[in-house]
């Protein structure tokens, strides 16, 4: 005896065009955005206002006039003052001259090869134009196991991706799992992945130096910000919310973070995104606590905290609205 299939289980012989066209278009746009951002931004990076300390007014004026908007020259009275700025991460390099035939260029290699390479090239051009030899020294080098300066990017990308996947899975369980349980899951995972990633990348692999506790806090904040932002976008925009989160956090956020191409080499708009989105805020803090004494890590922590509070608040608001009759 045959049994009729339930009405809701029957599949139409010809599905509506939107059912297959929408995911096709969204996936294609994500692919274009991903390739366009990552490949496009590294094609022809142009330096903008790279901060450098220059000892002496005459040398500072000469560099500022010759290099223009490519650098932001900060004149300092002596080498000690310039070194202090370099150690805190306030400048990328310090330029001084102890003789009329040579220029000393101290760089912080921890700022990444793209930014440091741009500074070396710019000062080299000035040196050749003035007939002075440029002697370069890396006074804050990258650690041995991160010679390309992208370990922080990979760690942040891994935490972002894992937290994004967690949020996707929690969105699918929204009908079976109460909101406060989902928020507790996000919190627990953020703490767990923050500690795991910090220990693995730091003491175990030796790719990220610095204080493991500060690194773990940074990564935990990044995880929570990513997961809650994805959850909020899914709650407010439905099925389209996850692709929006993919473009915003995974694609734009990571490509403009300043890890693969330095922030000072990005276009102005990309630089704004890089500093405001969670991946860029986290990578900035990772670099700061790893190489520059944690002088500016509060900036990244504050940005991540704002994302957590706003995204969490929007998620709670959507839940409250769905349960409150109009």
Q: What is the pLDDT of residues 149-161, one digit of tens each?
A: 999 999 999 999 9
Using alpha carbons, select from 71, 43, 77, 83 the residue that is nearest to residue 58: 77
pLDDT at 14: 65
Residue 177 shares a structural domain with residue 311: yes
- Strand pairing category for 71-76 and 102-107: unpaired
Domain final residue pick, 123, 141, 159 = 141
Side-by-side strand order, sheet with 102-107: 71-76, 50-55, 93-99, 102-107, 133-138
- Cβ pair 292, 91 in contact under 8 A: no
Residue 119 shares a structural domain with residue 185: no
What percentage of the chain reaches a pLDDT higher than 70?
A: 94
Cα 179 to Cα 185, 307, 319, distances in angstroms: 10, 18, 8
Note the Cα 130 to chain centre separation in Å: 38
CA angle 137, 138, 139 (to 5 degrees): 105
Residue 304 shares a structural domain with residue 185: yes
Query: Does the predicted model carry a pTM greater than 0.85?
Result: yes
Residue 177 shares a structural domain with residue 270: yes
Q: Domain range for residue 303?
A: 145-323
- For 30, the token pair is 């994500």
pLDDT at 38: 86
Residue 172 shares a structural domain with residue 92: no
Residue 184 shares a structural domain with residue 56: no
Q: Count how many residues are written for the chain.
A: 326
Residue 60 shares a structural domain with residue 125: yes
Residue 230 shares a structural domain with residue 126: no
Question: Can you list the pairs that 187-192 forms with residues at least 24 positions away whose Cβ atoms lie under 8 Å?
Answer: 187/224, 189/163, 189/223, 189/227, 190/163, 190/220, 190/221, 190/223, 190/224, 190/227, 191/220
For residue 143, which phi and psi values (nearest 5 degrees)?
-70, 165
187: in domain: yes
Residue 201 shares a structural domain with residue 176: yes
Residue 77 shares a structural domain with residue 197: no
Domain final residue pick, 114, 141, 168 = 141
23: in domain: no
Residue 174 exposed, middle or buried by CB count within 10 Å (0-12, 13-18, 19+): middle
Residue 257 shares a structural domain with residue 292: yes
Q: What angle do the packed helices 179-199 and 297-323 form, to 10 degrees?
A: 160
Number of domains in the chain: 2
Residue 210 shares a structural domain with residue 294: yes
Helix residue ranges, H only, the chain? 17-41, 57-67, 79-88, 113-130, 151-172, 179-199, 212-237, 241-245, 254-255, 268-276, 278-291, 297-323
Residue 77 exposed, middle or buried by CB count within 10 Å (0-12, 13-18, 19+): exposed
Positions of the chain with pLDDT lower than 50, given as ranges = 1-2, 7
Q: Three-class SS of residue 139? A: coil
Alpha-carbon distance of 88 to 188, in angstroms, equals 33
- Cβ pair 289, 215 in contact under 8 A: yes
- Cβ pair 230, 307 in contact under 8 A: no
Q: What residues form DSSP beta bridges with 289?
A: none
């Amino acid at each position: 005896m045959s049994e009729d299939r339930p009405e809701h289980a029957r599949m139409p012989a010809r599905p509506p065009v939107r059912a297959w066209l929408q995911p096709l278009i969204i996936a294609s746009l994500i692919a274009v955005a991903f390739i366009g951002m990552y490949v496009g931004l590294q094609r022809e990076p142009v330096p903008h206002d790279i901060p450098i300390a220059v000892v002496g007014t005459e040398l500072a004026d000469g560099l500022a006039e010759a290099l223009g908007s490519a650098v932001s020259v900060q004149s300092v009275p002596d080498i000690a003052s310039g070194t202090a700025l370099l150690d805190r991460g306030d400048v990328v390099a310090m330029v001084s001259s102890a003789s009329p035939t040579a220029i000393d260029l101290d760089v912080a290699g921890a700022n990444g090869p793209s930014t440091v390479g741009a500074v070396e090239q710019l000062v080299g051009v000035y040196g050749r134009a003035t007939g002075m030899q440029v002697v370069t020294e890396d006074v804050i080098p990258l650690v041995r196991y991160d010679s390309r300066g992208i370990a922080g990017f990979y760690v942040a990308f891994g935490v972002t991706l894992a937290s994004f996947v967690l949020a996707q899975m929690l969105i699918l369980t929204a009908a079976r799992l109460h909101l406060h349980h989902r928020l507790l899951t996000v919190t627990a995972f953020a703490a767990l992945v923050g500690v795991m990633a910090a220990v693995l990348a730091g003491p175990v692999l030796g790719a990220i130096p610095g204080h493991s506790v500060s690194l773990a806090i940074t990564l935990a904040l990044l995880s929570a910000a990513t997961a809650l932002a994805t959850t909020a976008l899914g709650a407010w925009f439905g099925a389209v919310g996850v692709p929006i989160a993919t473009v915003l956090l995974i694609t734009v956020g990571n490509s403009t973070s300043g890890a693969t191409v330095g922030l000072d080499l990005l276009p102005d708009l990309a630089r704004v995104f890089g500093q405001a989105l969670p991946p860029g805020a986290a990578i900035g803090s990772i670099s700061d606590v790893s190489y520059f004494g944690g002088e500016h890590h509060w900036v990244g922590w504050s940005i991540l905290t704002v994302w957590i509070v706003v995204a969490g608040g929007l998620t709670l608001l959507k839940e409250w609205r769905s349960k409150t009759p109009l």
